[in-house]
Structure 1
């Protein structure tokens, strides 16, 4: 009853806050969201008339090819220093490749660069502080966590989206028609388990069944993990959890039913869909039972060892690439759950690395050209291309990357023998369809981060009980 009361209080507080914000304007209702139409229209008109220099450059750049952007970059940044910041250190690998590309157009071109990778989620603080300067230090960023990007960076006008013309055309659209952030790539975290014992994981509910304690990066240290939980409450994924539940045997259903019934009222209070209670039940069991780890690397190192009999985890797929085989350690000691013929339900989680210009970018043309280079060419994406489980958002670059690195035959040796089937990446299309990957939606995460997020905060993590 305590949890239900808090859930009701959360929703009530949201309604009061929203109605209070409406003031005396004309209210417009869409679904469960009430907004002040006059305020919304006024803010949009103001945004449309207050275009900055960076906004104007982006608008012009979106109609230009990579080569045209490259010439603008050469003119703007020759002899200067380019500063970038990102969650991935590989921006530092991509920048010299970009400079080499510009040199093919102008051999006399030269640019210094520095790439920073803030730790402990400090990238948002760093970008916020830099945005207060008349001219910023950072030209662009490569950043993850759609929820915080939406609420802290885009809604506040700190970061600007640029859509390369060549990227849009590769996807069969126009740059102006595209809505959303520009993803460099989608990364997947997938369910795996150590197969040296007797445990079976044939259904996504098995990972939250009695006695299961999957290894997982703590949701308060890597927030994309919390976004994964938010996304489970979206109707399409809640429906998938219900479908997987329906295929469980009676013994397992009997274990889950009290939990599902216990969160039913919370699901209604939070405004979730009919099957939202299945999502909340799965989330509750996951949060209260997962084994907290500091990074996906140690999770992988644990699972591939014979000593980890029957253990499971949710981790970045590409970590398997770095496993060094030995007597007790092998990729063959783990099974990628979704690759089993009889597996049912979600196979993991997919989230994006996004590319943005800063609102006060000191080198906006160069930033646009660099972003276009990474998203529109195989060489530009090569800093990330060697990893399985990381898929370019550009279908042409994705195809070229697969042709070069042969991720779908990642476990084959030179004789054509498949030595490590778990390393045979089945590709983006398979994972998003047959593998039932849960895909991050930044706007949805932002919309439920207060309601569902507050509900998750009420749960007691396994680490809190120890």
Structure 2
């Protein structure tokens, strides 16, 4: 993940070193920054101890060498480097979230608080239709790229197309790592700005109750959902269901169903047993494949989460359901026939069984041919290590900073956990009281994206999903 490309170079360097008779540490220890340097003292031994590190640095790209230095620096130290590098220049960023454009002016103001004479122009692009990967790939072919950094989602394609190919580099801010009780060189993964959740919701103006995740794939149920070909993170959700942990959750939820409801799903589960074996899935894989097959064959494909939310909160959407970004509820305008109280968040209801939705991340990377790598590192540290830096995203419930200190500050400011209460503390809109990431990732049984797992099954499970028949709304 974070250090995979670097690790391969390290292995080559160490192999050459060993053939030359030089001492070296274990490759894994080099990758995690925990080399065993317990040799006895002496001139020759000192040279041997330093050789692997020197070889490692020599095999780093210019941007990776800057990142290695930057990971030992505070935000203020990075800011000084950014001021020296980018004063009077233009910073180009690209991302899946338009709010990077809102964060950049705040970052510039922060740098100006250190040096009032500092100035920087900026341009933030948000490619449509998942073209960000093509844009970054094309930019990577230049000796010096246009884009300094990116904010990007879809762990599967990031893993297979961006990091394994060396197009993007992970920078772990020192203060972010400290807030998470670790150090930058010990982080084996990508830097997440935030985790967002999509949750199961249903219109409650009628008598229908959704108290089990299998209810969303029941007969004649057509949940509203962004088509997996429109928003590819939806495919990652399906990939993750086949991971042992989440497949077991689906099995447990199935076992909690009444016998008559189990009878409807059992033939599909039995049918999927051989498929699960062929795909190399675990013991409960057939439950995951059955749910996926039923979901793909029944959901009502939509182009965006906004219209899904607008539909479900309407009086006229009796008994309809959907899987959508939780934060959309924040923008609902109450009126005659439209109310947040027309929906329920399934996982918040007493007795609900099974997965409550899924979570995916916005990740931050420095482009390997970044024209302004120090400024990119400073901007990334600013967004992930300060409340002001995260404020462009902080107003939304259902978006959780990966920095626990920033998350705590954001909650104190925006009070998402009581967002549905009036000034006297009375609950007015229960569905808007966000229970937070800690709850969602445990009791809420949120399915969390793992880029490495998604990439490992994207060909096998992914190819199987591509062949599934889809529901076509009349």
Give 1:429 deviation, angstroms.
0.2
2:343 corresponding residue in structure 1: 334
Q: State TM-score, norm by structure 1.
A: 0.90
2:279 corresponding residue in structure 1: 270
- Aligned positions of 1:131-142 closer than 5 A: 131-142=140-151
1:423 corresponding residue in structure 2: 432
Instruction: Evaluate the alpha carbon distance shift between residue 272 and residue 44 of structure 1 in structure 2; reply closer, same or farther with a 3 A threshold.
Output: farther
Deviations along 1:4-44, whole A, 9 cap, x unmatched?
Answer: xxxxxxxxxxxxxxxxxxxxxxxxxxxxxxxxxx9995499
- How many residues align? The count is 428
Pair 1:92-2:105 in alignment: no
Give 1:45 deviation, angstroms.
6.5
CA distance in 1, matches of 2:231, 2:418: 30
Give 1:199 deviation, angstroms.
1.1
Pair 1:190-2:195 in alignment: no
- Aligned positions of 1:21-32 closer than 5 A: none
Match of 1:254 among 249, 263, 288: 263
CA distance in 2, matches of 1:67, 1:255: 60
- Runs (5+) with no aligned partner, structure 1: 1-37
Pair 1:309-2:288 in alignment: no
Give 1:305 deviation, angstroms.
0.2
2:31 corresponding residue in structure 1: none
Deviations along 1:405-439, whole A, 9 cap, x unmatched?
Answer: 00000111223221101000000000000000000
Retained in 1: the 8 A contact 2:151–2:362?
A: yes
1:35 corresponding residue in structure 2: none
Match of 2:134 among 112, 120, 125: 125
Deviations along 1:443-463, whole A, 9 cap, x unmatched?
Answer: 000000000001101100103
Q: Secondary structure at the match of 1:126?
A: helix
Pair 1:150-2:166 in alignment: no
Q: State TM-score, norm by structure 2.
A: 0.89
RMSD, aligned α-carbons = 1.5
- Runs (5+) with no aligned partner, structure 2: 1-7, 17-54
Instruction: Evaluate the alpha carbon distance shift between residue 154 and residue 299 of structure 1 in structure 2; reply closer, same or farther with a 3 A threshold.
Output: same
Q: Secondary structure at the match of 1:289?
A: coil
Deviations along 1:45-95, whole A, 9 cap, x unmatched?
Answer: 799452111010000000000000000000000000000000000000000
Give 1:346 deviation, angstroms.
0.5
CA distance in 2, matches of 1:39, 1:300: 48
- Aligned positions of 1:36-55 closer than 5 A: 41-42=11-12, 48=56, 49-55=58-64
Deviations along 1:305-364, whole A, 9 cap, x unmatched?
Answer: 010000000000000000000110000000000000110110000000000000100000
Give 1:211 deviation, angstroms.
1.2
Pair 1:297-2:288 in alignment: no
CA distance in 1, matches of 2:443, 2:284: 21
CA distance in 1, matches of 2:301, 2:10: 42
1:206 corresponding residue in structure 2: 215
Match of 1:344 among 353, 359, 363: 353
1:174 corresponding residue in structure 2: 183
Match of 2:65 among 52, 56, 61: 56
1:8 corresponding residue in structure 2: none
Q: Secondary structure at the match of 2:118?
A: coil
Retained in 1: the 8 A contact 2:302–2:308?
A: yes
Give 1:233 deviation, angstroms.
0.1
Give 1:198 deviation, angstroms.
1.3
